Amino acid sequence: NAGVTQTPKFRILKIGQSMTLQCTQDMNHNYMYWYRQDPGMGLKLIYYSVGAGITDKGEVPNGYNVSRSTTEDFPLRLELAAPSQTSVYFCASNIGTGNQPQHFGDGTRLSIL
Amino acid sequence: GENVEQHPSTLSVQEGDSAVIKCTYSDSASNYFPWYKQELGKRPQLIIDIRSNVGEKKDQRIAVTLNKTAKHFSLHITETQPEDSAVYFCAASPGGGADGLTFGKGTHLIIQP
């Protein structure tokens, strides 16, 4: 199993541009998550999904959108990039039953200039 | 929502000594408490976790204790080694981790040779 795969690994955007961060997992996990990590800080939850067709906001959802059309994929979309969205974005998943650990992808490092 | 405080922000110990990192949480409904290790430029990796029905858990040189009454939990690393140098994050979840984690701000652990 590849686990949780995120693409791209790095990206530079101009203010106002849009992009989609891709996340896919091959562990048949029901629950998936998007976090952002600013320099020197812990991770903050942006959105999460408990299954295909179901998404919920986390702590910092403004400026982002998500969709979950399949169990495997959970893309994160930035519509109008702003400098405040410069961060490292991590996708994670877990099986969704009981107190199970979250498995993280390698992250996407996004700079908005 | 949940709030997790983590101390200290930086901890320097001599190789072979023990290290202790402490976290407090605010939501009495939280029942899942994982600890993650993050090396520079890498993904967070789960090192140990504890559920609310357990007071202590050990895994070789690593142990975690939980005091639900006081709403705090701690990570203990014994016989520290150079490869223990990293940033450590505590987290808490009222949904058993299923609806996302709230992270502390992290502790930079430095192992002095």
State pLDDT tens for residues B36-69: 999 999 999 999 999 888 899 999 999 999 999 9
B42: nearest CA in chain A? A106
pLDDT tens digits, one per residue of A41-68: 899 999 999 999 999 999 999 999 999 9
Exposure on the CB side of residue A98, measured as CA atoms within 13 A: 6
Q: B104 CA to chain A: closest CA distance, Å?
A: 6
Chain B residue closest to A97 (CA)? B98
pLDDT of residue A98: 62
Contact B97 A100 (CB under 8 A): yes
Do residues B94 and B1 touch, judged by C-beta distance below 8 A?
no
Q: Which residues of B touch A98 (CB under 8 A)?
A: 96
Q: Are B73 and B63 in contact (CB under 8 A)?
A: no
Give me the DSSP letters along chain B: ---EEEE-SEEEEETTS-EEEEEEES-TT--EEEEEEE-TTS--EEEEEEETT-SEEEETTEEEEEETTTTEEEEEE-S--GGG-EEEEEEEBTTTTTT--EE---EEEEEE-
- Percent of chain A past pLDDT 90, that is, above it, reads 86
> Residue B44 and residue A43: Cβ atoms within 8 Å?
yes
Q: Which of A33, A99, A105 sits opposite B100 (nearest CB)?
A: A33
Tokens of A63: 């400026």
What is the total residue count of chain A?
113
Location of structure tokens 């009454």: B69
